[in-house]
Amino acid sequence: MSSYGVFILSAYLVVLVVLGGLTIASLSARAKVRRELASRGLDRKR
Amino acid sequence: MADLHFLANPARFRRFSQRMLPGLTLATVLSLAVGLYLALLQSPPDYQQGETVRIMFVHVPSAWLSMAGYALLAVLGASLLVWRHPLAALMARAAAPVGASFALVCLLTGSLWGRPMWGTYWAWDARLTSMLLLFFLYLGHIALSRAYDDPDRGDRAAAILALVGVINLPIIKFSVDWWNTLHQPASIMRLDAPAIHPSILMPLLWMAGSFLLLFIVLVLVRTETEIDRRRLEIADQSA
């Protein structure tokens, strides 16, 4: 890449951190809530 | 329309979402992989902006989705306030952080694009300022929906903010026409043909499709979580 490579790579790193972080947070929140439902016996199919 | 009403029931929506998510997730991963190849390796440098045009492939789709996400919040807000749609509040809680994240990506990547092109990371230009306002509206929505002990009150307050804030969307879109801005004018969503060469337009549209898939997957996952969380709250109250 050119001398502007640092800006380009930083932009893609921002995407990875923000959207990747949101994806991980969303999946872990769902897993946590599901565990809580299961521990209370509320995880039956509705 | 009948199908949308069918999905208004949270339990039915949850079953629908669980059926859709595996395929959508696979499509998102594959689409993003192809999109990154097109954006970083296959597309040519721009004749004016050189290699920095590659930032556009993540910046522009983020901008579109942050605006589309806010329009979704407004529709959900109206559904909640007018029809008391049972799913609307839950989906709005799920979608607001997703839209805020895309707005943040848009602002940060725009800043990183602005430095080499404009010589500055930030300017109080109409387009940039209205986009920053959109990000703050998202933060306000997230904060308001969680500000009350009674979640219904919080959801209604956030819905009103979503409806009031929707006026910012045309301001963002037309800011480059209404004011003299540092930001370039619209080059894709124009009345005449796009002003971008197809070799750059194609990767851009591909990345926009990939980001849209990611947006949908995230909203579905988070809506499922909100539905389950509400079930836990109801169980707590009845215990």
**pLDDT, tens digit, for every residue of A1-46?**
567 899 999 999 999 999 999 999 999 999 999 999 999 887 755 4
The pLDDT value given to residue B99: 98
pLDDT of A44 reads 59
**Is a pLDDT exceeding 70 seen at residue B108?**
yes
Answer yes or no: is pLDDT of B192 > 70: no
Identify the closest residue of chain B to A19 by CA–CA distance: B101
Average pLDDT (B196-213) is: 94
Instruction: Tell me the pLDDT band of B2, cut-offs 50, 70 and 90.
Output: low
Residue from the list B15, B97, B224 with its beta carbon closest to the beta carbon of A22: B97
Under a CB-based contact definition with an 8 Å cutoff, are residues B77 and B163 in contact?
yes
Residue A19 forms contact with B (CB below 8 Å): yes
**Which amino acid type is present at position B136?**
F
What integer is the mean pLDDT of B124-138?
95
Give me the percent of chain B exceeding a pLDDT of 70: 93
Please check whether residue A39 touches B, CB under 8 A: no
Residues B46-61 have a mean pLDDT of 90
Q: Is B3 exposed, middle or buried (0-12, 13-18, 19+ CB in 10 A)?
A: exposed
Disruptive mutation site among A7, A10, A40 for chain B (greatest number of B CBs within 10 Å):
A7
**Phi and psi at residue B46, to the nearest 5°:** -75, 150
Which of B1-10, B111-120, B181-190 is the least confident region? B1-10
Does residue B3 have a pLDDT over 60? no
pLDDT for B12: 87
- Domain boundaries of chain B, sorted by first residue: 20-183+197-238
Please answer whether residues A30 and B224 qualify as being in contact, where contact means their C-beta atoms are separated by less than 8 angstroms.
yes
CA max distance for chain A: 58
The answer, for B108 touching chain A at a CB cutoff of 8 Å, is yes
Q: Is 90 exceeded by the pLDDT of residue B49?
A: no
Q: What is the pLDDT of residues B63-104, one digit of tens each?
A: 999 999 999 999 999 999 999 888 999 999 999 999 999 999
Average pLDDT, chain B: 91
Q: Do B222 and A11 lie within an 8 Å CB cutoff? A: no
Distance from CA of B14 to the nearest CA of A (A): 9
A14 to chain B, minimum CA–CA distance in Å? 7
How wide is the angle at C-alpha B26 spanned by C-alphas A38 and B88, nearest 5°?
55
Concatenating the DSSP letter of every residue in A1-46 gives --TTHHHHHHHHHHHHHHHHHHHHHHHHHHHHHHHHHHHTT--S--
Contact B183, B127 (CB under 8 A): yes
- ipTM for the whole complex: 0.91
Output the pLDDT for position B178. Answer: 85
* CB atoms A14 and B105 under 8 Å: yes
With beta carbons less than 8 A apart as the criterion, state whether B154 and B145 touch.
Answer: yes
Tell me the average pLDDT across B140-147.
96
Q: List the domain boundaries for chain A.
A: 9-33
Which structure tokens are listed for B127? Answer: 């387009």
Establish if B228 touches chain A: CB-CB under 8 angstroms.
yes
Cβ B104 vs Cβ B135: under 8 Å: yes
Distance from the Cα of B201 to chain A's closest Cα (Å) equals 18
Residue B55 · residue B116 · CB < 8 Å = no
Residue B34: band (very low, low, confident or very high) from pLDDT cuts 50, 70, 90: very high
Distances (CA, A) of B217 to B71, B94, B153: 18, 11, 27
Closest chain B C-alpha to A20 CA, distance in angstroms: 10
